[in-house]
Structure 1
Amino acid sequence: ISSPASAPPGYDILISTVPHQEEDKQEITVKVSRDGHHLFELTTIKADW
């Protein structure tokens, strides 16, 4: 699942959520680009405790 997020003009933020192998976890990736150029990507695991 991907969804757009609010970003300053010229920037694009894409957030992707993928179910993890373990049922209670999700892998979340945030990709940021500016004027079509990739700036950085952050991936983290969200766990329901």
Structure 2
Amino acid sequence: EIVTYCQGAYRAANSFLALKRLGFKNVKVYLGSWGEWGNKPELPVV
């Protein structure tokens, strides 16, 4: 599984489309992206 993300999901959508065109099947966009994940201190950042 590949999950793309960026600051607001716009660049992540471009990555998603590129990966799909390359033949990857299990690709998703995390719509909340970094703007959501980074503002939740209980979530891991590595």
State if a TM-score over 0.5 links the two structures: no
Please identify the structure whose Cα radius of gyration is greater.
Answer: 1
The structure whose RCO (Cα within 8 Å, separation 6+) is larger is: 2
Q: TM-score, normalised by structure 1?
A: 0.23
Q: TM-score, normalised by structure 2?
A: 0.24
**Bigger share in helix:** 2
**Bigger share in strand:** 1
